Amino acid sequence: MDMKSVMFVCRRNSCRSQMAEGWVQAIGAGKIRVVSSGLEASRVHPTAIEVMATAGIDISGQTSNALAEFAPADFDAVISLCGCGVNLPEAWVLREVFEDWQLDDPDGQPIAVFQRVRDEIRDRVVALVDRLTNP
């Protein structure tokens, strides 16, 4: 079986998509290739780095990338984390798996919001990895 590839996409690729990438790297290591991007690139949010570190996952080496740097055909699954799926070019939403998780944006919110969103992403990533690796 070929290893599946997942693209997480969000508006700025700074919080939610970065946390999702980190979770898949940890939970799906050796089973799933993962990348995250944004409709525009920005930075990896320091609070996202902090809350992931408290969960034992280091995302400090990840980079913020623009979706335009990637080709849809390279990915089996595309997951939008912010409701931005309606703004994606059609080729992205027509992948084998497309989901729009529409999670709260923790940017500018108290750390408790970052922690809640981190945990919501973890739970969804666990289910996603299971679906993609156990068809």
CA 133 – CA 62 distance, rounded (Å): 24
CA 45 – CA 81 distance, rounded (Å): 15
Give the pLDDT confidence of 26-84 residue by residue, as tens digits: 999 999 999 999 999 999 999 999 999 999 999 999 999 999 999 999 999 999 998 87
Of 51, 82, 103, 129, which is the active-site residue? 82
Q: What is the pTM of this model?
A: 0.95
How much is the pLDDT for 132?
A: 95
Mean pLDDT confidence for 78-101:
91
Percent pLDDT > 70 in the chain is: 99
How much is the pLDDT for 1?
A: 53
Task: Supply 29's token pair.
Answer: 């290591």
Beta strand extents in 2-95 (DSSP E only):
4-10, 32-38, 77-80
Of 10, 52, 125, 128, which is the active-site residue? 10
How much is the pLDDT for 2?
A: 80
Backbone torsions φ then ψ of 32, nearest 5 degrees: -140, 135
The correct answer on CATH 3.40.50.2300 for the domain covering 4-133 is yes
Q: Among this protein's residues, is 82 annotated catalytic?
A: yes
> Could you tell me which of 33, 44, 26 has the C-alpha nearest to residue 5?
33
How much is the pLDDT for 82?
A: 86
CA 56 – CA 130 distance, rounded (Å): 21
Report the SS3 class of residue 116.
Answer: helix
Q: Among this protein's residues, is 84 annotated catalytic?
A: no
CA 118 – CA 100 distance, rounded (Å): 16
